[in-house]
Amino acid sequence: MLAATVRVAGDLDLAEECVQDAYVSALNAWTSGGIPANPGAWLVTTARHNALDALRRAQVFRTKMPLLAEDDVDEVSFTGGSVVRDDTLRLVFMCCHPALSTDARIALTLRLVCGVATPDIARAFLVPEATMAARITRAKKKIVAASISFRVPEANELPDRLDAVLTVIHLLFTTGHTAPSGDTLTRGDLAERAVDLGRMLHGLMPGEREVRGLLALLLLNHARRATRTDGEGRLLLLEDQDRSKWDRAAIAEGHRLVVAALRGGSPGRFSLQAAIAAVHATAPSYDGTDWTEILVLYDELLNVWPSPVVALNRTVAVAMVHGPGAALREVEKLERDKMLTGYRYTAAIKADFLRRLGRLDEAAAAYRHAMELADNEAERAFLAMRIKESAAG
């Protein structure tokens, strides 16, 4: 609906308002007259009419006349002659406009297209919520000021937007795989939507190695979805998960994609992350995991993508190869990075290394700090259990 309406409105805020008004109209009309045969078409048509009415009221109708040359709205799909055949994926490409900064286009797309809440986007970027809200607002204003056209990019324009699109889909999956907030560990709807978008993108650009790498990464991680919590919703660590319940078909598909993504030159960040996930997914057990290979892959990933979060995740492999003492020293260095201040997993990982070293009082304090930063109830329950265990020795 938003993808269709913004093409008429030419303005994101106006399009959002018109879509919301269409939902209100549906509640009123459908309650008395029943649900129409094609509810999606009804909603889209109403939203677009709302946009046209608003433009008329603003006395800019004449300047928008060329937009009315499009075909009449009969269905929800607006693929037309575009190379992008899915409405949601089209809107992702539309919002990832190269005129915006990378962070701005990713944040704007996550908020408008994927429906991710601003606080959750802020957590993904490791910035305060107010900073992220201002960033999204500035992106919207720049779209208006620069008269950025909301049209589906041509095939030759897709590569310039691809990295941002890959990042949007990856962050959408991450938000669903481990929800930043809420009562449950995961949000299956977001994770499934990301996997679907990854498949569509692979169908659109099958020759792109990083597209293969992203889809592989999503499939390999999503294959563990049934075992990441117990029957009561409690978080289960990787070492405690029942590997016999993992989705072997998804793992096999992901592994094939990883092999294809790693061929022919230096791999990118998504292909390397997928390779790490593949080592985990194909290991016979947690203890039987090739941690040395994972550490080598993390070293290469840091070269390609020097992110403090990657460096933090790497310490888990360091602990398995060189021991928790060496890993703790790495974490203590990373704590000086301002980007990781307030990142809940920094404290949680540090606490785990302290626990394994037998420094239980310090571990309990670090677990308490991680719990203060966590908003996901499943994670908070796990951290509370660790605090209790550490206090009990």
**Domain residue spans of the chain:** 1-65, 307-392
Q: What pLDDT was estimated at residue 321?
A: 97
pLDDT digits (tens, 9 = 90+) for 222-251: 999 999 999 999 999 999 999 999 999 999
Query: Which is more confidently placed, 60 or 360?
Result: 360
Residue 100, phi then psi, degrees to nearest 5:
-90, 155
Please give the distance of CA 81 from its chain centroid, rounded to a whole number.
28
Terminal-residue alpha carbon distance, the chain: 56
Q: Do residues 297 and 279 make contact, with C-beta atoms less than 8 angstroms apart? A: yes
pLDDT digits (tens, 9 = 90+) for 328-351: 999 999 999 988 988 999 999 999
pTM to 2 decimal places = 0.83
Phi-psi region of 182 (alpha: psi -120 to 50; beta: other; left: phi over 0): left
**Cα distance between residue 255 and residue 219, in whole Å:** 9
The dihedral built from the CA positions of residue 100, 313, 393 and 288, taken in this order, carries a sign that is: positive
- Name the nearest CA neighbour of 345 among 317, 307, 371: 371
Region 139-159: what's the mean pLDDT? Answer: 78
Region 135-158: what's the mean pLDDT? Answer: 79
Q: Do residues 53 and 25 make contact, with C-beta atoms less than 8 angstroms apart? A: no
Q: What pLDDT was estimated at residue 275?
A: 98
Region 104-131: what's the mean pLDDT? Answer: 89
Q: What pLDDT was estimated at residue 65?
A: 47
Q: What pLDDT was estimated at residue 153?
A: 77
Instruction: Check whether 173 has a pLDDT greater than 90.
Output: yes
Instruction: Check whether 276 has a pLDDT greater than 90.
Output: yes
pLDDT digits (tens, 9 = 90+) for 293-328: 999 999 999 999 999 999 999 999 999 999 999 999
Round the average pLDDT of the chain to a whole number and report it: 88
Region 109-118: what's the mean pLDDT? Answer: 86
Query: Which is more confidently placed, 283 or 87?
Result: 283
Q: Which CATH architecture has domain 307-392?
A: Alpha Horseshoe (1.25)
**SS3 labels along the chain:** CHHHHHHHHCCHHHHHHHHHHHHHHHHHHHHHHCCCCCHHHHHHHHHHHHHHHHHHHCCCCHHHHHHHHCCCCCCCCCCCCCCCCCHHHHHHHHHCCCCCCHHHHHHHHHHHCCCCCHHHHHHHHCCCHHHHHHHHHHHHHHHHHCCCCCCCCCHHHHHHHHHHHHHHHHHHHHHHHCCCEECCCCCHHHHHHHHHHHHHHHHHCCCCHHHHHHHHHHHHHHCCHHHCECCCCCECCHHHCCHHHCCHHHHHHHHHHHHHHHCCCCCCHHHHHHHHHHHHHHCCCCCCCCHHHHHHHHHHHHHHCCCHHHHHHHHHHHHHHHCHHHHHHHHHHHCCCHHHCCCHHHHHHHHHHHHHCCCHHHHHHHHHHHHHHCEEHHHHHHHHHHHHHHHHC
pLDDT digits (tens, 9 = 90+) for 44-93: 899 989 988 887 776 554 454 445 444 444 444 433 445 555 667 888 88
Region 159-166: what's the mean pLDDT? Answer: 93
Rounding to the nearest 10 degrees, give the CA dihedral for residues 205, 208, 211, 212. Answer: 110
**Cα distance between residue 55 and residue 162, in whole Å:** 32
Q: What pLDDT was estimated at residue 150?
A: 64
Q: What pLDDT was estimated at residue 63?
A: 54
**Cα distance between residue 42 and residue 168, in whole Å:** 29
Tokens of 195: 């996997």
Ranking 134-143, 170-179, 342-351 by mean pLDDT, the lowest is 134-143
- Name the nearest CA neighbour of 30 among 54, 46, 14, 17: 46
User: pLDDT confidence of 94, banded at 50, 70, 90?
Assistant: confident
Region 14-34: what's the mean pLDDT? Answer: 91
Region 17-23: what's the mean pLDDT? Answer: 92
User: pLDDT confidence of 6, banded at 50, 70, 90?
Assistant: confident
> What percent of the chain has a predicted confidence (pLDDT) above 90?
64
Bridge partner residues of 376 (DSSP): 182
Q: What pLDDT was estimated at residue 55?
A: 79
Region 104-123: what's the mean pLDDT? Answer: 88
